[in-house]
Amino acid sequence: MQIEGLFPLALGQVQLRPDPLVIARQLQVILELRGAADGNPDPACAWTGDLNGIGQLHRHPAFSGLVDELSHHAAAYLDALGFDRSRLALHLQRCWPVVSEPRQVVGRHHHPNAHLSGVYYLNGDGSGRSGCLRLWPSRQVNELVPGLAVGHDGPFRSNGGPPAGWLQPWVDLAPRAGLFVLFPSSTDHAVMPNDDEEGRFSISLDFALTAPAGVTAAEYLAPHPQEWFPLA
Ligand SMILES: [Fe+2]
């Protein structure tokens, strides 16, 4: 029998080769922006700039060039999915740093305000020791019985949980310095515990799609923000 994989989630990955001196400067800037805070505010939760007034990192000179490069990759992601970018405007909505100190996590969530999300890693060796990015499918269709693939003592031929492949309940992605990943913003994700002895540094980006300026699109696509009418 052949089993075919249908409806794949589009995970984009680009490995950049950043200058170590540039990364060192960016780490220094993030630590300065974080200041005395180290949790969110729960000490078990990583510090994230979006909750601490640091949501426009792309405007900082230490990051503007990097974010410009990352935005080009976001556009390439849209191309690869088959969108006609002449009929879309891609906006960077916000960009913020995330710092996981040892043992800290980011709980499961998604970004309902955005359409396309990205994460750029400033450090990480690819081992996952500093905390993998965990991605969940919107629905676990192949487990057949709802909850079977994540419950206790599931009836699997492998020991210790569902096997990789059709019944895999999530995918873990290991941080690596210079890696940029992109995924639909509706995708649930989390950051697993940092088991390293050093901080885990990343930058999150939220992109939004609208119609191009001056173009009237159908109701599913918002008009360009310059046509929005502020009421308050
Ligand atoms: Fe997130």
**Sequence spans of domains, the chain:** 12-129+176-215, 133-173
Structure confidence at residue 41 (pLDDT): 85
How many Å lie between the centroid of ligand 1 and the Cα of residue 158?
31
Confidence (pLDDT) at 163: 86
As to burial, measured by CB atoms within 10 angstroms (0-12 exposed, 13-18 middle, 19+ buried), residue 194 is: buried
Kind plus residue range of the DSSP H or E element containing 47: strand 47-48
CA 2 / ligand 1 centre spacing (Å): 36
Q: What distance in angstroms lies between residue 82's CA and the mean position of ligand 1's atoms? A: 25
Give the distance (Å) from ligand 1 centre to CA of residue 45: 13
For ligand 1, the distance from its centroid to the CA atom of residue 204, given in whole angstroms, is 7
**Alpha carbon separation from 32 to 29, 37, 54, 61, 123 (Å, rounded):** 5, 10, 11, 14, 17
**Distance separating alpha carbons of residues 196 and 103, to the nearest angstrom:** 8
pLDDT (0 to 100) of residue 87:
96
The Å distance, Cα 75 to ligand 1 centre, comes to: 20
The C-alpha R_g of the chain, in whole angstroms, comes to 19
Per the CB < 8 A criterion, the answer to whether 90 and 74 are in contact is: yes
Which segments in the chain show pLDDT lower than 50?
none
Residue whose pair of structure tokens reads 């075919």 in the numeric block? 4
**CATH class entry, domain 12-129+176-215:** mainly beta
Q: How far is the CA of 216 from the centre of ligand 1 (A)?
A: 31
